[in-house]
Amino acid sequence: DTAVSQTPKYLVTQMGNDKSIKCEQNLGHDTMYWYKQDSKKFLKIMFSYNNKELIINETVPNRFSPKSPDKAHLNLHINSLELGDSAVYFCASSQLSGGDYNEQFFGPGTRLTVL
């Protein structure tokens, strides 16, 4: 069973389009994250939700809007896509409350290419 899953795995789209990436975790965790890994392989956090509430927003353009319908899902919607949005996006989850060291489990990534 996949612990953290993302769909789609690959996403190719034109500049200006709006797209969504979905993430689901079946670990029962209370916290989920979105990370972006650019072409230089730097991995940087974008957002984090704890119990469906936003707890981290790392100065990401407001074209990016995360949505957490429940604790097991954290989707990422991107409006007006730009060339610079091309990257691999990773979803992750962890258990904050009651956990001792907050190990994060990552999904397989979604490679977004904006043409």
Partner 1 sequence: DAKTTQPNSMESNEEEPVHLPCNHSTISGTDYIHWYRQLPSQGPEYVIHGLTSNVNNRMASLAIAEDRKSSTLILHRATLRDAAVYYCILKSYGGSNYKLTFGKGTLLTVNP
Give the contacts of 22 (CB within 8 A, at least 6 positions apart): 6, 7, 73, 75
Which of 8, 15, 102, 115 is close enough to bind partner 1 by CB under 8 A?
102
- By CB under 8 A, tell whether 98 contacts partner 1: no
Q: Nearest approach, Cβ of 15 to partner 1 (angstroms)?
A: 25
Instruction: Please tell me whether residue 12 binds partner 1 under the rule CB under 8 A.
Output: no
Pick from 12, 15, 54, 55 the residue near partner 1 by CB under 8 A.
55
Lookup: tokens for 90: 């990773």
Residue 64 engages partner 1 in binding (rule: CB under 8 A): no
Tokens of 109: 């990534």
In this complex, which beta carbon is closest to partner 1, that of residue 13 or of residue 109?
A: 109
- Kindly give, in sequence order, each residue whose CB lies less than 8 Å from that of residue 41, ignoring residues fewer than 6 positions away: none
- Provide the minimum distance between the beta carbon of 89 and partner 1 in the complex, in angstroms, as a whole number: 10
Instruction: State the sign of the Cα–Cα–Cα–Cα dihedral 55, 57, 62, 68.
Output: negative
> What does residue 84 show for φ and ψ, rounded to 5 degrees?
-70, -10
Interacting residue ranges for partner 1, rule: CB under 8 A: 4, 31, 33, 41-45, 48, 50, 55-56, 58, 90, 92, 94, 96, 101-109
